[in-house]
Structure 1
Amino acid sequence: MLHQVLEQLGLTERETTLYQTLLKLGPASIRDIAEQSGINRGSAYESLKQLQNKGVVSYFPKGKRRFFMAENPEILLNLAEERKQNIEKTIDSLKHTIIPSLVQSQPTFHHTDVRYYEGDDGIEWVLRDILNVVSQQDHKEYCVFSSKPIRPYLYRPFPTYTKQRIKLGIKVKVIALGDGGEDAELSERKWIKTEDSVDASYIAIYPPKCAIISLARDNFPSAVVLESNDIAKAQQIIFDTLWRLL
């Protein structure tokens, strides 16, 4: 546990061992430190110099020898605060300078990012992605084409999906293919009646993405997520046109 925590502060496993050894020994020579820590003198000396640079260890001369001593453990909190400030500055630079600059350096052609997901874990990821994307938009709404056979499997890995959607204030419009479907808060539903049976399918339109979920053999769910403003807008136009006609 200690080694993992101090690693987050930039201390190697060897440096952590030497620091612990010095806390137990008090001021000590390199020979005593090496003997007590089980680290050879050359490696111990190099690591002690690194600890000194990090402000965790100091030394003082005594005759012709150099004695090292550990700083108060409170220094570790200072290291953590310093690292936290550096990370916050890095995040700020990424948000406001680096990422915008990198985005501008990309070619101007439009491309489609296609990702595939399988199984219940994959479907849960897609459902959470819908909530994450839509919840960050000003107009919190998405649209869905859904058929009856998919419904028993859609929310199986994420049974609280509808509650989470309502909690986030996200609206949904559903065009159901065939009968069925449940009414829920912040949702509207219209139906397309079909004489032929409809295979299991679910298409969610949440610009800039579209998700297509279907069932393979033995009701194994799979999904394709397309990230493309052009495709999402086209699908949205189709949905809105059909919605007005129903």
Structure 2
Amino acid sequence: MLEHALEQLGLTARETKLYQSLLKLGPASIRDIAEHAGINRGTTYESLKLLQAKGVVSYFPKGKRRFFTAENPEVLLSLAEEKRQKLDKTIDSLKSTIIPELIQQQPHFYHTDVRYYEGDDGIEWVLRDILNVVSKQDHKEYCVFSSKPIRPYLYRPFPNYTKQRVKLGINVKVIALGDGGEDAELSERKWIKTDGKTEASYIAIYPPKCAFISLASDNFPSAVVMESEDIAKAQKLIFDTLWKLL
């Protein structure tokens, strides 16, 4: 856990080991530090210079030799705060300037981005993507075609999906294929009656994306997510037209 935490601050595993050795030794020469850490002197010296540049180690001359000492561990918190401030500034720059500029560099033509997902982890990713995309839109609503056989497997990896959807203020319109389906908050539902068995299927329309979820053999869920403004608009038009007729 320590190595992982310090790695986030930019310290390598070797540098962490040297820093710990210095904490135990107190002011020490390169030779003593290298022996204690089990690292050769040349590598120790180069690593100590890097630690000094990062502000966690300092040195003082004693005769013709240099003695190194570890800074108080609280300096690590200062490093973390500094790193967080820089990261916050980077995030602000990404949102306000960098991402908009990069988007403008893209060719001005429509393309379809198709991605495949499998298993419970894949289905959870798709459900979270729906929430993420729709929550950023002015009109927080998406549309769904859903059949009864898919429902037991759909929310299995994300059982509190509906609560999260409601918390985000997202509305959903559902056209259920066959019987079943439960009323929920911020949800409207209509039905298409079917004769006999319906296949397991779920189509979510959340422009600019559409997600298609089905079950393979042994009820193994899989999904295809298509990102295309044109396709999503066409699917939304079909849904809205059918919705008015039901």
TM-score of the two chains, using structure 1 as the length reference: 0.91
Residues 69-111 of structure 1 show CA distances to partners (whole Å, capped at 9, x for unaligned) of 2222222222222212221222222222222221111111111
SS at match of 1:72: coil
1:210 aligns with 2:210: yes
Relative distance call for 1:159 and 1:45 in structure 2 (3 A) is closer
Identity %: 83
Q: What is the CA-CA distance between 1:179 and the residue it aligns to?
A: 2.8
The one-letter amino acid of 1:63's match is: G
What count of residue pairs does the alignment treat as equivalent? 246
More moved, 147-156 vs 108-117 = 147-156
Mapping of residues 130-209 of structure 1, within 5 Å: 130-195=130-195, 197-209=197-209
More moved, 9-18 vs 229-238 = 9-18
Q: What is the CA-CA distance between 1:172 and the residue it aligns to?
A: 1.3
Residues 136-193 of structure 1 show CA distances to partners (whole Å, capped at 9, x for unaligned) of 2221211111223323332333333223322332221112222332222222122222
Relative distance call for 1:124 and 1:31 in structure 2 (3 A) is closer
Q: Distance in 1 between matches of 2:23 and 2:120?
A: 51
Runs of 4+ off more than 6 Å: none
The one-letter amino acid of 2:74's match is: E
The one-letter amino acid of 2:36's match is: Q
The one-letter amino acid of 1:167's match is: K
Residues 48-85 of structure 1 show CA distances to partners (whole Å, capped at 9, x for unaligned) of 11122222222222222222222222222222222122
More moved, 232-241 vs 70-79 = 70-79
Q: Distance in 1 between matches of 2:45 and 2:160?
A: 57
Residues 17-37 of structure 1 show CA distances to partners (whole Å, capped at 9, x for unaligned) of 222222222222222222222
Mapping of residues 21-170 of structure 1, within 5 Å: 21-170=21-170
Q: Distance in 1 between matches of 2:189 and 2:219?
A: 25
The one-letter amino acid of 2:138's match is: D
Over aligned residue pairs, what C-alpha RMSD do you find? Answer: 1.9
SS at match of 1:11: coil
More moved, 12-21 vs 157-166 = 157-166
Q: Distance in 2 between matches of 1:26 and 1:160?
A: 52
Q: Distance in 2 between matches of 1:26 and 1:48?
A: 14
SS at match of 1:194: coil
Q: Distance in 1 between matches of 2:120 and 2:26?
A: 57
More moved, 191-200 vs 213-222 = 191-200
Q: What is the CA-CA distance between 1:197 and the residue it aligns to?
A: 4.2
SS at match of 1:199: coil
Structure 2: which 5+ runs fail to align?
none
Relative distance call for 1:45 and 1:100 in structure 2 (3 A) is same
Structure 1: which 5+ runs fail to align?
none
Q: What is the CA-CA distance between 1:112 and the residue it aligns to?
A: 1.0
More moved, 184-193 vs 105-114 = 184-193
TM-score of the two chains, using structure 2 as the length reference: 0.91
Q: Distance in 2 between matches of 1:115 and 1:108?
A: 21
Q: Distance in 1 between matches of 2:158 and 2:228?
A: 26
Relative distance call for 1:27 and 1:152 in structure 2 (3 A) is closer
